[in-house]
């Protein structure tokens, strides 16, 4: 484990150089890893583990996702099983169902968590809010986490490109004395670029805040506010979308990602630089109270409870699809669909 300086703060980080794939395989050579769930994280993590040479099986209910697993090469009765049988066969159970499904399926999982096994999460939700989820693991197993900082689709895509997606890791319970090595080996196995230390609580607080904030919720609200302002002042949809979304995602974000915000600023016009530096303060002051309120709602469990209550409703999927339809069919994103067809790579 290396200590890295992040803006003056020292953090524990594990890289693939100090914990190579060969070491990870050696640590887990006698383990059977069962990936439970084949939805968001399941495919990417299980396929990466399989391609990296680990003994991995998938546990999934029969239906569309079962068929998807079969299409991905998992063989019923050999590497693909019903959830209970997969858990029985496993020494490490990767619990990668959605938060709501984890609550529902937990009574079926718990009997197979026998002494010495490991229970693995990719999100701190179930354990942090255990009074609400009622997911309380036995004391004689390891409880660990690898949380890739992106979707399972991104994890798989970057793996196939020979790259890695950074992940956080945490150990909630070390019953065997092997939890650290098991955790890091799994992190390397699923395709992490590097691993940084956290706790279950910090992971879920930052994750829920990020999803509702700059990663998804805030960015849509910010983009829509600017798009609407331009449209209300007479700008056409194409111009409003290009200035709001297309230039951000296709031109500026790659610069931002490459070397940071200052470098992106340095590679823009002096007019853009001056305006950005002058206006970042007012935007910060306007949204900081919203982020403080958001973090408080996450910290006290209100966001978790809303998620549990909503996702457990029988018509949740229908309501979600309707909300997504409205978003998809809004003028801004209808304009975006047209703009994407005009990109050079599509012509």
Is 233 a known active-site residue?
no
331 is in an annotated binding site: no
Task: Quote the pLDDT of residue 242.
Answer: 97
Which residue in the list 123, 134, 284, 296 is annotated as catalytic?
A: 123
Average pLDDT, the chain: 95
Q: Is the pTM of this model over 0.85?
A: yes
269 is in an annotated binding site: yes
247 is in an annotated binding site: yes
d(CA 165, CA 53) in angstroms, rounded, equals 19
Residues 20-40: tens digit of each pLDDT: 999 999 999 999 999 999 998
d(CA 241, CA 234) in angstroms, rounded, equals 13
Q: Which two tokens stand for residue 141?
A: 């197993």
* Helical H segments across 190-301, by residue range: 200-212, 217-232, 237-241, 247, 253-259, 261-266, 270-299
Q: Which two tokens stand for residue 237?
A: 């949809």
pLDDT(120) > 80: yes
Task: Quote the pLDDT of residue 40.
Answer: 87
51 is in an annotated binding site: no
18 is in an annotated binding site: no
Q: How confident is the model at residue 7 (pLDDT cuts 50, 70, 90)?
A: confident
For residue 108, the surrounding DSSP H or E stretch is: helix 99-109
């Amino acid at each position: 484990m290396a200590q890295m300086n992040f803006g003056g703060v020292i953090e524990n980080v594990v890289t693939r150089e100090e914990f190579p794939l060969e070491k990870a395989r050696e640590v887990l050579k006698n383990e059977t890893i069962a990936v439970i769930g084949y939805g968001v994280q399941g495919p990417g993590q299980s396929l990466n583990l399989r391609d990296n040479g680990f003994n991995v099986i998938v546990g999934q209910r029969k239906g569309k996702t079962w068929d998807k697993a079969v299409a991905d090469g998992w063989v019923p009765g050999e590497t693909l099983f019903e959830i209970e049988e997969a858990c029985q066969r496993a020494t490490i159970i990767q619990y990668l169902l959605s938060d709501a499904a984890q609550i529902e399926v937990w009574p079926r999982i718990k009997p197979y968590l026998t002494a010495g096994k490991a229970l693995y999460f990719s999100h701190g939700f179930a354990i942090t809010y255990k009074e609400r989820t009622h997911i309380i693991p036995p004391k004689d197993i390891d409880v660990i986490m690898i949380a890739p900082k992106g979707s399972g689709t991104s994890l798989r895509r970057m793996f196939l490109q020979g790259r890695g997606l950074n992940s956080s890791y945490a150990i909630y319970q070390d019953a065997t004395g092997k939890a650290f090595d098991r955790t890091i080996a799994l992190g390397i196995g699923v395709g992490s670029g590097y691993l940084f230390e956290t706790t279950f609580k910090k992971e879920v607080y930052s994750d829920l805040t990020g999803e509702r904030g700059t990663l998804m919720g805030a960015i849509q609200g910010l983009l829509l506010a600017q798009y609407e302002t331009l449209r209300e002042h007479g700008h056409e949809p194409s111009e409003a979308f290009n200035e709001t979304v297309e230039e951000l995602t296709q031109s500026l974000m790659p610069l931002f990602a490459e070397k940071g915000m200052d470098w992106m600023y340095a590679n823009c016009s002096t007019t853009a630089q001056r305006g950005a530096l002058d206006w970042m303060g007012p935007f910060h002051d306007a949204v900081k109270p919203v982020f403080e309120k958001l973090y408080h709602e996450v910290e006290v469990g209100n966001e978790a409870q809303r998620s549990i209550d909503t996702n457990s409703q029988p018509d949740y999927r229908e309501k979600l699809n309707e909300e997504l339809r409205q978003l998809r069919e809004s003028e801004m994103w209808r304009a975006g669909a047209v703009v994407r067809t005009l990109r050079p790579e599509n012509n």
